[in-house]
Structures are given as structure tokens and as C-alpha cells.
Chain A
Amino acid sequence: MILVPCPHCGPRNASEFRYLGEERARPDPVAATPPEWRQYLYRRTNPAGWTTETWHHSSGCRAFLTVERHTVTNEIRSCTVAGAHT
């Protein structure tokens, strides 16, 4: 089981987290065409390599985290609090 380096709690078991999948932007709900909206709902790039995804430390500090993870090696090269930059 991988360790997720939560910026608040330190490295913790992945089982403490909820996995929300690849990070993706929600299109403008008024302007979006059906294909664009469905792309957002259902399509993932699912690379064999680096990917940016959201993890929720649901059994910990409950922060939402933006994680850069390598899907082949499970290496995590960055883990920051999502939305903290705004």
C-alpha cells in the first residue's frame, strides 16, 4: 500500500484517503456542448506515467490534495493542498 505524503499529517497509508481520480476542470455549464460535458464526466487520459489527481484525506485532516503520481512506479513527486493557491 502506498504512502501519501499529506502536507498536514505526513506520510500516511493510502487507505486513509479517498481517491477522486484525475484532476479535471469543470467546463462552463452554460456554454459547454454535450461532447465537452461528457468528456469532463467520463473521459480520463489514464496515462502510464505521470498524472495529476485529487486525493481526499477523509480519515485524516480531510484536506483535498493535488497529487502528482507515477502510475507505473507509484512514486509521488508532489502533494499539495488543492485550491490553496487561490
Chain B
Amino acid sequence: MTGTSFRLEDRPLRNAAPPNPGRRLDPRPGEVIDRSAPLSFTWNGRPAQGFEGDTIVSALAASGVRVFSRSLKYHRPRGLLTASFHDPGCLVQVDDEPNVRGAHRRVEAGMRVSAQNAWPSLRFDVKAANQLVGRFLGPGFYYKTFIAPERLWPAYESVLKRFAAGGRASAEPSHDSYDKRYAHVDVLVAGGGPAGMAAAVAAAAVGASVMLVEEEYELGGHLRWGGKRELDLLAEQRAAVDASPGIEVLTNSVVTARYDDNWMAVLQRSVFPGVRERLVKARATTVVVAAGLIERPYVFAGNDLPGVMLSTAARRLVNLWAVKPGTRAVVFSANAEGDAAAADLEDAGVEITRLVDARRGENIVRALAARHGAARRTGLSAVELGDGSIVECDLLVTAIGWTAPTSLLNMAGDRPVYDPTAARFRPGDGLPDSVFVTGGLLGDGTVDELVAHGSDVGRAAAARSDARSVRQDRSDRAAGADDDAGPARPAPLPVVPHPALFRSTTHGIVDYSEDVSSKDLIGAAHEGYESVELLKRFTTVTMGSAQGKLETVNAVAVLAEATGRTIGETGTTVWRPPYAPMSLGALAGRQFEPVRRSPMQGWHEAHGARPLVAGAWIRPDHYGDPEAEVRNVRTNVGIIDVTPLGKLDLRGPDVPLLLNLLYVNKWSKLAEGAVRYGVMCGDDGVVFDDGVTGHLGPDHYVMSTTSSGAEAVLNLVEHVLATDHPEWRIHVTPVVGDYASINVAGPDSRALLGRLAPELDLSPGAFAYMQVRSATIAGVTGCFTWRIGFTGELSYELHVPADRGLHVWEALLDTGRDLGCAPFGVEAQRIMRLEKGHLIVGQDSDGLTSAYAAGLDWLVKPDKTDFLGKPELAWVAERGGPTAQLVGLQPVDGTLVPPEGCQLVEGTTIVGRITSSRMSPTLGRSIGLGYVDRRLASAGTVVSVRLPDGTETPVTVMADLAHFDPEGRRLRA
């Protein structure tokens, strides 16, 4: 948000201060606050007080604060509605953390809490704002208002950004961290109410390992704000959980998703100090969902006024935090919870001016805002009842029914079904055998009945888990699924008839987070959005911070009403993960990126190497001056750490068969002691990898691959040997980590190596180009070295047992000091190979480059019976070759290096591209490699390069890929 946007602290809400200590009640039997531990924090910059155990909002409510935010679109003041995690009006900013659930997060000493940004700003005259919003904030306004003309999209974007509800993300890195954990349990119980606790205890009693996950800070569910019977049961159940060593309890945690085979995502909040969130990935053999019920708001005019709240909110405020929610109350009740709320309020000294009983057909019509005094515009002052009478009050409590949070069941494949008797959606019959339901989510009952059912389900879940584990441990475990194993599912809980109440005779808010009213929904339905999924996307109903938990069923009911269908016919939206919001930090978890380092990497870093990240490896890019490194190799001798090169040790009599299949060239007659360059293609004829393979001894070969291709080549080799040719007698072992690899390159490399390997005959006749020898180097036995020339110089690649790599590296530098021996990095190597015209797979080839296009015609042997890619390459040859050809390129202006990726053009036609380009220190001019259309590939043709600034410059197609020593005299020296 920009500096011009509104912050609530600019103009404190009228009722934000002074604190009103009179709202804190005398101690309550089930209260969760510690009155011996008062603490101070700030609210919009002003001091505020609470007790340990208070939520941010309960502490503020105890001080008389009634308004915690402004609504998204209409800028209406919002107060407490549910006094729980999902309370849509209680999102606040805490220090640098935005979107904190203020009705859930416990207050801490020193917290700086502020209301979040709203738009339009409070500085705006509210009347003017209402007129403005009335013009274009109707249903679907996102789609209707901001379409045309396109040139105004940037302006629309800045407006839309202001609609994004939320606080300020800090530009600074957070001091807190996030973590991840894996868990394996027999039974995971989602929900720590009476049924969930009973299920956990019963499952643990028969030996199951149990994870019990509770969204709130304490186990107990609705027992916590109940009467004596509930509190006694709560104590009993908590003691049973504590006495069960097999139960791990995660509080302030929520099961956010269920994926295949009960892969459960559990978000654990405030795990340790400094760890804000932890994502627990739990594999549970069986899952018990005991998520309870969520109370549903009633739709009527003024239903979002501060002072209108749900019965559970009133009971929680009174019984958990000892906060008096008002002084004069009207209670609208359709069930026992509403009656209990009325009793609690009376007990707390709130005057119940009217109990409106929905079961007797009584109704409420609208909530009226105060017109005068301190509560003006921000609070409730009276309620208009169905009989036309108006009752003054500052608190209206509604208890009109429930929503079953079936999300986890939906994610397991079940579809909820509307039950008109219970007036709520209930679980269907589509659950897999490994997922169980119990508690209020499933049906109704006394707390004792819920506990009994929970116990039955817990035992069944443990037994099913046991049966599945036994099956998985049998020797024939993979032979097939056998999910019938295990005991039957306990009979479901029955339901108690409940009045069906959704909307009164007036219109009110359905989605508090998105500011969507019943009138908006009916209008959208009349515009043709009659499917609930379309209605959701058009009006954004259920898409706000509560994510449908409060508003989905009301939205469905209003849509049903508008379209003349039943709720069952209208259906509901599909709940998708995550059930509860989670931060990106929790998804990312702890930074964990394994890095591969050669045994010499520490030396490189100590000697000024500039790091290059290459796949999993970290390598020296250069040591300060790559061009000087090139000149040193060309005139003296240099050494480079090439440990990341892929290396496969191949043994067995049939290795030549494998090489013949993998490489496009011939391998049957590779003599012992010889090395050959090979290119691998896929069966589509596209170049896949390249490298040299050496014949080290009888039935013993070492294959090298590119660094980035090492893993893929190993997979390919293993696949061929395991499935296509299990009859071949070949052992393959990846040995990248076994060797440190050093390339010694330059005219003096023979002299240098001779000093360290005196027993090795290095004379050109005895150890020729493309040969391999076993060797003892600098006293290290078990080395081998091959003479190859990627840089174009006389060079020996040494492969040394990894633990002796640093020793040999340092010995080369010490011994070669008088020869000018110096290290060189990847950049110098890339320059030299480009001077020599050697391609790099992936740099000078892409996913469409055939071996022919890459200039490897000399290598491909179509007369072999088979090799990977053979048919495709044969057809390329039949068509007369590839359409484009890799060629050497030199800009006419030798001082100019066209960036890699530049296109070659002929007028407005693309005729090729540059794949590699550098300034050559050896030639003193720019050089490159690239693809051009075949008709332009002959030497001397001049083509234009389109540079990034749009200008063009001519480049000449060269006769050779090699710009330097095309005859290869140096590397054969």
C-alpha cells in the first residue's frame, strides 16, 4: 500500500478509547485468562491492556472496543461476529505481520496491533463514498467495470489493488522463520472436541499411534464454553488424553488438506518462539474427521452492525474470556445453543430484553444503528421484530443453525448432501474406507452420545489402520488392493429436527469478508448466474477470508430462493484445499537446498574464485580475469576442476553392446587403452548428451557425461539394462563422487604431468591423443587419465580418488610454478571451447536439434543395426539433411559481441540464431556459434544479426566450427 492510503490510526475510531474496565466480568469457572498475568499492548498506537489467555479481540472487547475493521467495499464498521478464527471483521495487523486473525491470536505483551487499511479511506466523507460505491460496486463489478478501454488497465489495476483486503507486508525480511516436519501415524484425528478426544483416546487404548489436531489453543471444543456438566466432562477427557502416551496433541493447529492415501497437511501455528508456522506433512493410515459444526449467521438488514453476533460468540466471550458483550440484549434462538447463550448472558448480568423464539415462528426483521451519541453509525441500538415492534438493545444474538465443515471429506472424494430435517448439508456416503467421521459434523446428540460415538469410531479407525498395516507388511503387499479388510464403520449419528432459517424478510450481508449481500446474489441470479459455482465466481461470495465457512450455505439458500429451487437441488460449491489460510512461508518451509562441492571447492574459494551455480554444483566461474586465464592456458599450462562431469563405471563383457545402443557412433572396436567421443540422442533423434568413454581394462569402461546430464544418463542406462536388455551382462555404478577430476591443459601440460607421474610414458607415441592410462599421480594410486582436448590444447584429464583431489591439485600448482601453471575457471573453458568450435549440449543445441543439425554428421553411423534415434536420423538424412545447420560465425565488426540468443534475420524473416558468443582473447576479435538456414550455411555468406536495441550488424558464416586451430595440431601435439 502507498503512503497516501488510509491507516486507521490516523483517526481513531470513536469508541476505541477510553478502556471500559466494566466489561470484564468476575471470574468464570471455565475462563482461560490468567488474571495474575496482566499485559500491555497497543491498539492503533494507544495503550491497551489484557490478560494472558486473552485474544487480541477479547482484550480489546473487555476495554469496550466494538469496531475492529471497515468492510471491504462499503466501508461499514465491523465488530465481533464469531469470536473465533474465522471472524471476518477481526483481521488486524500485528507488528510486521498482516492479516492476523485477531479473534484467535493470543495477545502478547508489547504487541503493536492496528486496524488494517481500508478503502475508500475514512478521510473520505462516508456519504460520498457510499454514493460512489453505489454506482459501480454491485455484483460482478470486477468484471463489468474494468473491461474497456484497454489503455485504462493500468489505472484499473491501481484501483483494484485498493480493494485487496489486507494489511501491509513488510519490505524487510521477517525475523521469524517457518519450518516443515514429516509424521507417520496410524490415526490422525482432525478436531479436539468431545468426539475427537474420545476417538483419540479409544484408538490409543488399542495401541494406535495418534495425532490429535485442534484449531484452538486448547482441547475441548464447545465443552469449553459449556456449563458444569460440560466442564466436568472436559476435565475428564483431557485427563484421559494426557494419560495416553500414544497421542500427540497439536493445538493451535489445523488440518488444512487431505490428499491421496491420507497425505495430510497440518498447519501448526506458533510452534516455537520465532517459528511462526510449521507445515506438518503427515501420512496417516486412517483419518477421523471430527471438525464439529460452525454456527451460521442470519441474513437480515443490519446483520453486520457491531453488536450483532452469533450465540457461540456470546458464550465464548462470557465463558472463556469473562467479557460482557453488551448491556441489553435481544436473543433470536432456534436451538438449545441460543437458549444457553441467553442463560449465560443473564448470568453475566446482561439484561435480556427479549427472547425471540424461532421455534414458535417468531422472527427478527432488521437491526437498527444508533442515530445519536457515541455509538452513532458504529453500533446497534434497536431491533425490529417480526410483529413490527422495536426493541432497544446494544446486543443482538442469533442462533439460527449450523454449517457442517465438510472440507476434508470433500477432499477425500465425498460430496455433502442437504438434509432438510437438520437444515444443513451433511456428509454423503462417498468416503474411502480409510476416512471416518464423528461428532457434530456427522449428526446430533448429547455430549455423552457424541463421546460414545467418538470412542466407537476411534476403535474402528485403529482396527482399520491395523488391518491395512498388516496387509502392507505381507510379502504379497503389492499384489493388489484389499480395502475390505478391517471392521465395519460405526452407524452414523441421527439428526434432530431444526428450523430452516436463512434469510428474514429483509436483505442483509451474506459474505462479510467480500461485502456481498443477499440482494446482490438475487440480482446475479436474475442476470443468469444460476449455478452456485458461477455465482461464486461472479459475485466473489465465499471467496473472502472466511472462505465459505460462514456464508456458503446462506448463499446457496438465497440462490435457491431466487431460482425457485430447493437447497438440495441447488447444491453447494466444492471445498478445496487449504481449509484454513496458510502463509507462503509455511509452504516454503526451511531453506534446504543441498549443494554439491568438489574436494577442491574450499581451495577455490580461498583463492578468489567467483562462484558459479551449475545445477546442484557450485564451481569456480573464474579467479578474477578469465581472459588472462585463457592466455595462460594457450601459452603455458592451466588446470581446471571438472569434478562435476558425470562418470559411470561400466563393467562386463556386454558393455560394447550398450555403448552401441546409446551412442550414434560405433563402439564395437574400441581398443583397450583408447577413448572415444560419443553423442547420445533420444529416440526422437534429438541430441541428448555427449562425452567420452574410455576402455580402461578388460571388460572395464568409464563413461563421462555432461555435468548436467549425469543423472539423466544414469537413469537411461539403468532403464535399458533393467527393462530392454536384462540379458546383457553389465554392471553400472555412478562414480561422480568417487573421483576428483582435473583437466591439465596447455603446451606445457606434458612437462607438468611428467614431473608428477614419472612412471607414465607421456611421449606422443606411447600416450596418444584419445587414449587412457591408469596412473599413479603425485603419489596417489588408483588414478586414471585420458588425453582429450575440449579446450583445443594438449591436455590430460586426471581422475583422482576424491579424498586425494586437493593433494593432487596443490601438487600440480606447486610443481608447475616455474611453468606458469595457474588455475582457470568455467568461463575460460567456455571461451576456449568456443574458439575451438566444440558444442555444448543444451547451449548450442535445444529440444529440437538433431545430431545432423548440430554438425555431428561425421559421427552418425546409420549402418548400425540400432541405436537410440536411428530411424529419425535416417529420415532426416533421407530428406536431404536438417533445415538449419550449426556454423561458426564472426561479426564483420570484430569488436562487437552480439549477445547469445540474438536472431539472424533476412529483412523481416528469421533465418537463424546465435547460441554462443564471446570475445576471443586468442584471436583478438569476437566469435560465435549459431544456427542458420541450410541455404545460408556455406562459408563466406554474410547474414544480419538483430541486436537487442533493434539495430542490425553483419556476421560472416565461417568454413569451420573452429575459429582457432581447425586442424587440431595443438591438441594432437
What residues make up the interface of A, taking CB atoms closer than 8 Å to B?
1-3, 5-7, 10-11, 13, 18, 20, 26, 29-30, 32, 34, 37, 40-41, 54, 56, 58, 62-64, 74-84, 86
Contacts and interface: CB of A to CB of B under 8 A. Distances in A.
A56 B871 CA distance: 26
A22 to B, nearest CB: 14
Given A10-B472, A41-B683, A62-B718, A1 B260 contact: yes
Contacts of B726: 83-84, 86
Given A3-B260, A29-B870, A79-B478, 4 more contacts: A26-B683, A41-B684, A64-B722, A78-B479
Given A11-B472, A82-B722, A83-B723, A1 B715 contact: no
B722 A1 contact: no
Nearest to B725: A83
Interface of B: 259-261, 263, 283, 472-473, 477-481, 683-684, 715, 718-719, 722-724, 726-727, 865-866, 870-872, 875
Nearest to B866: A29
A63 B261 contact: no
Contact of A77 (B472, B481, B722, B723): B481
B867 to A, nearest CB: 8
A11 to B, nearest CB: 5
Given A41-B683, A62-B718, A80 B478 contact: yes
A85 to B, nearest CB: 9
15 contacts: A3-B260, A3-B261, A3-B283, A6-B478, A7-B478, A11-B261, A13-B283, A30-B871, A37-B872, A41-B684, A64-B718, A64-B722, A83-B724, A84-B726, A86-B727
A1 B265 CA distance: 11
Contacts of A75: 481
Given A5-B477, A86-B727, A37 B871 contact: yes
Contacts of A83: 722-724, 726
Most chain A CB within 10 A, of B259, B722, B871, is at B871
Contacts of A20: 719
A25 B481 CA distance: 27
A56 B197 CA distance: 41
Nearest to A76: B481
A74 B261 CA distance: 9
Contacts of A18: 715
B478 A56 contact: no
Given A58-B715, A62-B718, A82-B723, A11 B481 contact: no
Contacts of A32: 871
Contacts, number: 75
B871 A29 contact: yes
Contacts of B875: 34
B537 to A, nearest CB: 25
Given A32-B871, A41-B683, A11 B477 contact: yes
A50 to B, nearest CB: 12
Given A11-B477, A77-B480, A5 B723 contact: no
A1 B281 CA distance: 10
8 tightest A-B CB contacts, nearest first? A5-B478, A83-B723, A2-B260, A1-B263, A79-B478, A3-B261, A64-B722, A82-B723
Contacts of B683: 26, 37, 40-41
Given A2-B261, A86-B726, A56 B719 contact: yes
A32 B793 CA distance: 44
A34 B455 CA distance: 65
B256 to A, nearest CB: 15
A78 B478 contact: yes
A5 B479 CA distance: 9
Contacts of B724: 26, 83
Contact of B865 (A30, A40, A74, A86): A30
Contact of B480 (A11, A78, A82): A78
Contacts of A13: 263, 283
A22 B330 CA distance: 65
A64 B872 CA distance: 26
Contacts of B477: 5, 10-11
Contact of B260 (A54, A74, A81): A74
A5 B263 CA distance: 15
A56 B719 CA distance: 8
A58 B719 CA distance: 11
B861 to A, nearest CB: 13
Contacts of B865: 29-30
Nearest to B711: A58
B726 to A, nearest CB: 5
A39 to B, nearest CB: 12
Contacts of B472: 5, 10-11
A25 to B, nearest CB: 10
A6 to B, nearest CB: 7
A64 B480 contact: no
A83 B473 CA distance: 24
A84 to B, nearest CB: 8
Nearest to A65: B478
Contacts of B473: 10
B480 to A, nearest CB: 5
B781 to A, nearest CB: 30
B313 to A, nearest CB: 38
A40 B872 CA distance: 12
Contacts of A10: 472-473, 477
Contacts of A79: 478
A48 B719 CA distance: 27
A18 B719 CA distance: 12
Contacts of B479: 78
Contacts of B727: 86
Contacts of B866: 29-30
A32 B723 CA distance: 21
A64 B261 contact: no
Contacts of A63: 722
A13 B172 CA distance: 37
Most chain B CB within 10 A, of A29, A40, A74, A81, is at A29
A18 B856 CA distance: 31
A49 to B, nearest CB: 15
B385 to A, nearest CB: 53
Nearest to B479: A78
A64 B480 CA distance: 18
Most chain A CB within 10 A, of B478, B718, B719, B724, is at B478
A86 B870 CA distance: 26
A64 B870 contact: no
Contacts of A74: 260-261
